[in-house]
Structure 1
Amino acid sequence: MQSQDVAPRPTAIDVTTAEAALVEHYPRLARLAYLTLPATLGRNRRVLTAHSLVQRALPHGRTPTPPAVIPAQSKGREGDPGYALVRTRVIRTALDAARPLTFRAWPRRAQLPALLPQVRGLRLFPRSGGGDEAALDQALSTLSAPARAAYVLRGLERLPDEVLREVLAAAGVTNPDGALREAAAVPAQELLLGSREFDPCTLHARPTDLMRRRQHTRAALAAAAAALVCGALLVLPGGGWGPDGAAAPAYAQNPSARAALDPGKLTRVAPTAWRTSPRTDFSVWPARGDRAGDTALLRRALAVWARPGESVQVSATPGTPSGGPAGPPQLLYAGEVDAARVVLLYDGLRIVRYAEPVSGTEGAALDFARVDGAGRAEAAAVVLGRADGNVRYLTAPWIGRAGERDLLKPTAGVMDLHRTADGTVSPLASPATRPGSCTSWNVLQLTDRSGGTRLMTDLGELTPAHLTVGRPAAPREAAGAAALRTWAPFACSLASQRGQGVRTVNAWQYARQPLPGGSGEGAWVCTRAETWRGGGAGALAQFRAPSSAYGAVTAKGQDSPACGPKDPHVLAGVLWKSDAGAWYLLAAADRGAVSMRATGAVTGEVEGHTLALPAKPDAKPELTATLGDGKTLDHLR
């Protein structure tokens, strides 16, 4: 097989072949179109235009595939000439749609609003991501349309530059080299390009102007009266209900809603309340930050919370409602963080973070995180902001010291982090924003004023996840030397829990197993994540051989009670190759098991809670264990 890219001879592609490729890869093609289109179209029109361009990408009759676009050795999607043809047509029309309209030439079809699809009465836009996605979208908006197409094709399609030049040329770009050079100015963010922020097939829906839709001829007089009333409200003392920064206009109000949006009615807790309160959670956090008295900023934050405008980037952890406050919330923080003004609010159920640029309100973001039932550990810190791969926290008033440590290096020391008088911690590297290989996993180490120490890790959400070790019924803090050694080989598996609304993650070493042939002793660990919403917890059974620095995931249970407080049992197996080249089925259950059995491709039964049987490398046996009370324990799945 040749290693260089060689273009195949052009072949005739009929409309049936192109249609099959379009249907199979429709979400990817729509994402390509959406990212290539300019952000100035607005998210609703950008979504509809992207779908329109993809749906119009079918050729008329038989059309030759553009030459030198598909590497000869490629397989799958890149080896499909129908896909290559449709992709080229999508990019070409997206570039046309990005051209400004002028009076010197007739507009091209792609420059006009899409005839189909059409959605009336709703505004559609992709699910919001975080600050990194917003920064990437802003960076892409500064590029020319050809450079934007080059960046997207390079990041999503992973095309080499020589192939990418030919694709751009086939799409009508007159200077592909210039487009590639301009695209290289934006750092590569392949992981972010595939995020939900840029997925025009997974959408949120919001109504258009409901009042206008409900107007009709017989109610014209009543509608005019309502408009006069709204106009009067806008000039009332106190600001009325007009637009506030990035907030959408409001057309109605009631006394309770007005109270919830009044900065003067925000709950502010005394700085020493946590010392005497029987509760130790977010309800006793004092109001902090150098902008805690900025009434205009607080009013904008409350208004955007109640009615986020179309330009606001809204995100919420799974299971978290994103509606407005039911009453006056509690102010936790208001201040400038890096290049943003940030407000943190708490309503007893959720932490809400509002952020806007230091200058203006364009690019405002609103983040929701569910925190009901938080205890002393879970209420120890909240994310203030992320920038340049780092995360900055605001810590609870009962925290006395903060530090940073690498979970992969249990014997390394802790690097102290500067903590200001208001509880703000200097930035630390965030594993949640670092794609690629896992060479380190930095966590936040917090020490209470009473001396207790705990570890928290950033999983891309407002609240960090609390790390523990030990048996599910009695987990303990993951801060001691033995606990750190338990977590170190399995820290990289935390990446699978990003963005899942995780509250705590426990690592439980439930078995150690002597390996055949005197190869040492293997360790079995179950890492279980509990979420704030209660359901959706994930359990990973992992095995680590003495010759490996990292653990390997052998089984995964989603929405499973295994190795948790309600079901403190787990069983998993793995095919393992010894130093002598022999293959074995290794399996282990927790110490509650008295015997184990393998059936199917490998058969055998042993007393105890570990098993090792000769096996073939492609064997797929079934495993069961018998507990001390006679119950059967199935393999984690």
Structure 2
Amino acid sequence: MHSQDVAPRPTRHSKPVVDVEQAQAALVAHYPRLVRLAYLVLPPGLGRSRRVLTAHALTQRALPRGRASTTVIPTQGKGGEARDGDPGYSFIRLRVVRSVLEAAPPPKRAAWPKRSQLPPLLPRVWGLRLIPRASGADELALDQRLSTLSGAARAAYVLRGLEKLSEDGVRKVLAAAGVADPAAAVQEAAGVPVHGALLGSPAFDPCALQARPTDLMRRRQHTKAALAAAAAVAVCGALLALPGDGRGPDGAAAPSYAQNPAARAALDPARVTKVAPTAWRTAARTDLSVWPARGNLAGDSALLRRALAVWARPSGSVQVSVTPGTPSGGPAGPPQLLYAGEVDSARVVIFYDGLRVARYAEPKNGAMGAALDFARVDAATGAEADAVVLDRVDGNVRYLTAPWVTKAGERDLMKPASGTMDLGPADGVTAPLASPAQQTGSCASWNVLQLTDDAGTRLLTDLGELTPAHLTVGRPTAPQEASGAAALRTWSPFACSLAAMRSQGVRSVNAWEYARQTLPDGTGAATWVCTRADTWRGDEPRVLAQFHTPGGALGAVVAKAESVPACGAKDPHVLAGVLWKSAAGGWYLLAAGSKDTASITASGGVSGSARGNLLAVRAKHGAEAGLTGTLTNGKTVSGLR
């Protein structure tokens, strides 16, 4: 081992030392977040395509060439403790911020441009423009607002909103990055309201990209026919030289560069962990770590080698999808094999590394079209470790189920009285069921997966990700399974609201019927339900307050919020209201809080108050009102909006 690879342990009076391997581990583990930070801080005037490539280039250049000394700047806000507890991450983040701020100003005529101010040499994509997904109106407005800020102020805004640093923590990072007046930058950034959810939007994700062609006419004019023919001959010759189906040993993986011994061991198919088929029967836990290796290709070393190589080094031809909040880097050590086999028209391999599930798929015929999917599954037990998506074809989805699952079925959540259709499973693989995550148009059904084992029956739903979300009902402090008759009736009118939670990294969704209210016109009682989607990353939950009148097919979303404790285990309270029109044509403001609400007051466009957790006040069409509730313990709560 060479001296430059390991840094000495810091003394009491020295700065913490970060060596190259520690910095690389932090860079790989948090690469998507670091690239997003760079993308947001770069000036929007660069254009989205160059901004994407520059963000990747500057992030990759942040890796030091040797050991480096840095003072760790700790976070003061929630959400970043796990990252900033690692000196490697703090050091890499500081280098990214510094290089992005250097890249932002245009080069001066009288001075040589800095390396960060030059167009990136790598990564480079020829013939394509890579841009993030289309922006919504809110994302576009935020991007335009950020473009009016200075580079230092943009950095302050992103560190505050994305990294959840306190103002003091932001000032320290900016000062360390070389900003002349960090306080002024923080003050300038304070003029833009913090939108943490928008900063995490796919529109600002330079790792989830759309490909578009460059100027085709210009390329045609500058491309020589002889060069095109020579390239075609070279490619054809290389393909003919490959054995078998045209795949090299590493398949769709990018070229391999020098790796340390640990990285090479992680990519050795002979070292992949394969759990015995009966290990789960005597294990103390019911989680993914006791799943056996299944599938008719579990012994195919060439397939496993390709899957591991693509995981570590996906080439540009690989379609990569990542659940929000999931690191997408290669395995830190030999992973556990959950499945390797042929499913429909593909060969599929599923690995588990203790934190993530990684799914590799390649077509049975041909070398093109490989896909790589990641999902975060840390601390998944019970229902959360019951199933993983195995394949999606023609709007249908297949699951690989846990070895303890004895029965799998499909049922329509919108039809609580209907039965279930048997799905097997056979050797852990279910028959295909229609996926609600891929349906378009009106919502007429919502098919869910019903799994049974010795512990009971549970419901899971596909939200377009590698792991299905667990559905529950009841008070957030003690949720119950959603498979009982009463629970199915609770979920039925609100099943379609699950569409708003697709691709959000959702771990579980709970539906809580927190109030029933007799309608003023005497036509029956309406129900108030709060649905809360908690994510695998533990932050940014999505909360919907919904209202359902007698005889209505679907509930109506009357309020929604993100990153709030309401309707959750830590704060099992909720208050929401709706303008409702009676059959006679009269308008009312109806409001309801959880059972421990002592009084509700409406102000603004509608005035009124009531003791207890229900309020009904006459109103005018289009009126706007604010709601305030007082709990039995004297605490005040505001209505969701």
Q: Give the letter for the 2:122 counterpart.
A: G
Instruction: Please point out which of 461, 480, 484 is paired with 2:484.
Output: 480
Counterpart of 1:535 in structure 2 is 539
Give the superposition deviation at 1:255: 1.1
Counterpart of 1:31 in structure 2 is none
Aligned partners of 1:126 and 1:198 also within 8 Å: no
- The answer as to 2:321 corresponding to 1:315 is yes
Q: Give the letter for the 1:423 counterpart.
A: G
Which runs of 5 or more residues in structure 2 are unaligned?
1-47, 53-117, 135-200, 212-247
Map of 1:374-453 to 2, 5 A cutoff?
374-420=380-426, 422-448=427-453, 450-453=454-457
The 2-side partners of 1:338 and 1:628 are apart by 58
Matched residue SS, 1:468: strand
Give the superposition deviation at 1:548: 1.3
CA distance 1:394–1:470, shift in 2 (3 Å): same
The 2-side partners of 1:252 and 1:204 are apart by 30
Counterpart of 1:499 in structure 2 is 503
The 1-side partners of 2:403 and 2:457 are apart by 15
The 2-side partners of 1:585 and 1:413 are apart by 39
Give the superposition deviation at 1:203: 4.4
Aligned partners of 1:128 and 1:313 also within 8 Å: no
Counterpart of 2:580 in structure 1 is 576
Counterpart of 2:635 in structure 1 is 631
| C-alpha distance after superposition, 1:81-117 (max 9, x if no partner) | xxxxxxxxxxxxxxxxxxxxxxxxxxxxxxxxxxxx9
Map of 1:275-354 to 2, 5 A cutoff?
275-354=281-360
| C-alpha distance after superposition, 1:166-202 (max 9, x if no partner) | xxxxxxxxxxxxxxxxxxxxxxxxxxxxx97999997
- The answer as to 2:607 corresponding to 1:603 is yes
CA distance 1:126–1:340, shift in 2 (3 Å): farther
Counterpart of 1:469 in structure 2 is 473
Aligned partners of 2:249 and 2:306 also within 8 Å: no
Q: Give the letter for the 1:349 counterpart.
A: L
Aligned partners of 2:521 and 2:582 also within 8 Å: yes
The 1-side partners of 2:573 and 2:276 are apart by 45
| C-alpha distance after superposition, 1:10-55 (max 9, x if no partner) | xxxxxxxxxxxxxxxxxxxxxxxxxxxxxxxxxxxxx969x9xxxx
The 2-side partners of 1:456 and 1:563 are apart by 20
The 1-side partners of 2:334 and 2:437 are apart by 32
The 1-side partners of 2:537 and 2:378 are apart by 9
Map of 1:75-114 to 2, 5 A cutoff?
none
Instruction: Please point out which of 508, 513, 518 is paired with 2:517.
Output: 513
Map of 1:90-239 to 2, 5 A cutoff?
119-123=120-124, 125-126=130-131, 203=209
The 2-side partners of 1:203 and 1:527 are apart by 31
- The answer as to 2:371 corresponding to 1:365 is yes
Instruction: Please point out which of 459, 464, 469 is paired with 1:460.
Output: 464
Q: Give the letter for the 2:586 counterpart.
A: A
The 2-side partners of 1:580 and 1:366 are apart by 57
Matched residue SS, 1:122: coil
The 2-side partners of 1:495 and 1:437 are apart by 11
Which runs of 5 or more residues in structure 1 are unaligned?
1-46, 52-116, 130-194, 206-241
Q: Give the letter for the 2:576 counterpart.
A: A
Aligned partners of 2:323 and 2:374 also within 8 Å: yes
Q: Which has the larger radius of gyration?
A: 1
| C-alpha distance after superposition, 1:424-480 (max 9, x if no partner) | 0000000001111100000000001x1500000000000000000000000000000
Counterpart of 1:622 in structure 2 is 626
Q: Matched residues, percent identical?
A: 68
Aligned partners of 1:466 and 1:503 also within 8 Å: yes
Counterpart of 1:209 in structure 2 is none
The 1-side partners of 2:206 and 2:327 are apart by 22
Give the superposition deviation at 1:485: 0.1
Q: Give the letter for the 2:542 counterpart.
A: G
Aligned partners of 2:348 and 2:362 also within 8 Å: yes
The 1-side partners of 2:391 and 2:419 are apart by 26
Give the superposition deviation at 1:547: 3.5
Counterpart of 2:271 in structure 1 is 265
CA distance 1:327–1:597, shift in 2 (3 Å): same
Aligned partners of 2:385 and 2:402 also within 8 Å: yes
Q: Give the letter for the 2:562 counterpart.
A: Q
Q: Give the letter for the 1:426 counterpart.
A: A
Matched residue SS, 1:378: helix
Aligned partners of 2:249 and 2:302 also within 8 Å: no
Give the superposition deviation at 1:118: 6.5
| C-alpha distance after superposition, 1:479-535 (max 9, x if no partner) | 000000000000000000000000000000000001002121110000000100000
- The answer as to 2:262 corresponding to 1:256 is yes
Q: Give the letter for the 1:406 counterpart.
A: D
The 2-side partners of 1:336 and 1:440 are apart by 30
Matched residue SS, 2:521: helix
The 1-side partners of 2:551 and 2:615 are apart by 19
Give the superposition deviation at 1:244: 1.1
Q: Give the letter for the 2:456 counterpart.
A: G
The 1-side partners of 2:569 and 2:284 are apart by 26
Give the superposition deviation at 1:361: 2.5
Q: Give the letter for the 1:569 counterpart.
A: H
The 1-side partners of 2:203 and 2:352 are apart by 25
Matched residue SS, 2:124: strand
Superposition RMSD on alpha carbons, in Å? Answer: 2.5
The 2-side partners of 1:588 and 1:581 are apart by 22
Matched residue SS, 2:369: coil
CA distance 1:378–1:592, shift in 2 (3 Å): same
Runs of at least 4 residues off by over 2 Å: 117-129, 195-205
